[in-house]
Amino acid sequence: MIPIGEALAVVMAEVRPLEAQKVPLGEADGRILAEEVRAAFDVPGFANSQMDGFGVRAADLAGAMEDAPVRLRVVGTVAAGGPYAGVVERGTAVRIMTGAPIPAGVDAVVPIEEVRTEGEEVEMRAASTVGRFVRGAGEDIAKGEAVLVRGRLLRPADVGLLASLGFAHVPVVRRPRVAILGTGDELVALGEPLGPGQIHDSNAYTLAAAVREAGGEAFRMGIVRDDRASLHAALAEAASYDAVLSTGGVSVGDFDHVKDVMDEIGLRRRFWRVAQKPGKPITFAAHEGCLYFGLPGNPVSAMVCFVLYVAPALRAALGRSEVYAPSISVRAGEDIRTARELTELVRCTLRAQDDGLVACPTGSQSSGVLRSLSLADALLISPPGRSGFTAGEAGTALRIRAEVSPSAANPFA
């Protein structure tokens, strides 16, 4: 039995980076950028107006005051998109719209709310400064500037930046292809009736969803019976994937054949059993570019192992620099008892209080109770040598919800 940290280091050392592929920009959100992106041109590409108003020469307005206005002759109009052919000479102004290119001669924009128009003339009642309400070329992004780093998870605003830079396609890292196998004679596919002693294969669905959340592509390969020949065939078929997740059959029961079959195939298993609860009987091998995770069958154990080992490995294969579940400081919301001889991960909700986050167990910590994981925001870490927490005691927890939860409270109400 090895500690979690050691098992995790073994897994991470076997991760190989995946190659890049080009995808249309419209499909790039949620993907990982494979190369640094630099701007091929300035954004905006030209100086333009930040306001609807009048383009002027700031020097013309020197000395303009409420009771000593300056009058300028309006010589034309420039709309967004439309160039203005002429030069704005001294003593004149152009009507200009937001986003319209700044004509030659103009060096400031006076918003329409600040002037009075009279026929072909406009009256200015205050001085201006050069550059006022003018967005300079390259103000958002300068040509040659590094805009997005390699390994970045592309979010909506990033996609917009890439669009403004003219990228119709972007290089992203190929998604890892992950095969998922459920093992067990008691398992029945969804849609089929349950006989006595039978259960639905829920792990395949939990894990497929988790794979997608981590950025991978999930392939449910179906249910494998608890016999060596079936396991042999299934593992051999899965070898072409980037990773294989099997669940069940890795413990010490009479029908737990996964370890033996992995060994027979020649997958060099790197560990079996980690000093953790839940998820102790996990085994792992890496062979010819494929990572094999023999996850325990208990639904919570399988998912906790996914969070601890599989998700970081998938993120690393995707070239992300941040791969681990974030650890946070919390206080126990109640007395909690844990197993002293290993690292126990307690499923908890998190509640924000004035003096920090409070973690409360979500109910039964049995490794078969998936509901307590479904309710959990975090896993409170109880390291070896610790037999629990008293209410209020400080600890560390892993956040296991990837998304930022929307709030029920309207922040502007």
Binding site for Mg ion (CB under 5 A): 184, 248-249, 297
Q: Nearer Cβ to ligand AMP, position 14 or 186?
A: 186
Q: Nearer Cβ to ligand AMP, position 248 or 319?
A: 248
SS3 of 367-394: the string is CCCHHHHHCCCEEEEECCCCCEECCCCE
Region of residue 133 (phi > 0: left; psi between -120 and 50: alpha; otherwise: beta): left
Query: Which among 254, 320, 260 has a CA at the least distance from the CA of 246?
Result: 260
Q: In sequence order, what are the beta bridge partners of 38?
A: 146
How many residues bind to ligand AMP according to rule CB under 6 A?
18
Distances (CA, A) of 183 to 150, 188, 204: 38, 10, 10
Q: Is 199 in the site for ligand AMP (CB under 6 A)?
A: yes
- Closest contact distance (angstroms) between CB of 179 and ligand AMP is 14
C-alpha gyration radius of the chain: 31
Footprint of ligand AMP on 176-195 (CB under 6 A): 182, 184, 186-187
Q: Is 230 in the site for ligand AMP (CB under 6 A)?
A: no
**277, 178 Cβ separation under 8 angstroms:** no
Among Mg ion, ligand AMP, none, the one that 298 touches (CB under a kind-dependent 5 to 8 A) is ligand AMP
DSSP codes of every residue in 144-169: T-EEE-TTPBP-HHHHHHHHHTT-SE
**124, 109 Cβ separation under 8 angstroms:** no
Q: Is 251 in the site for ligand AMP (CB under 6 A)?
A: yes
Q: How far apart are CA 359 and CA 363, in angstroms?
A: 12
Q: Is 248 in the site for ligand AMP (CB under 6 A)?
A: yes
- Site map for ligand AMP, 270-309, x if CB under 6 A? --------------------------xxxx----------
- Closest contact distance (angstroms) between CB of 249 and Mg ion is 5
Q: Is 247 in the site for ligand AMP (CB under 6 A)?
A: yes
Q: Nearer Cβ to ligand AMP, position 167 or 205?
A: 205
Q: Nearer Cβ to ligand AMP, position 374 or 387?
A: 374
- Closest contact distance (angstroms) between CB of 403 and Mg ion is 32
Q: Nearer Cβ to Mg ion, position 115 or 238?
A: 238
Q: Is 361 in the site for ligand AMP (CB under 6 A)?
A: no
- Closest contact distance (angstroms) between CB of 156 and ligand AMP is 35
**73, 121 Cβ separation under 8 angstroms:** yes
Query: Which among 389, 370, 371 has a CA at the least distance from the CA of 380?
Result: 389
Q: Nearer Cβ to Mg ion, position 281 or 361?
A: 281
Contact positions vs ligand AMP (CB under 6 A): 182, 184, 186-187, 199, 201-204, 247-249, 251, 253, 296-299
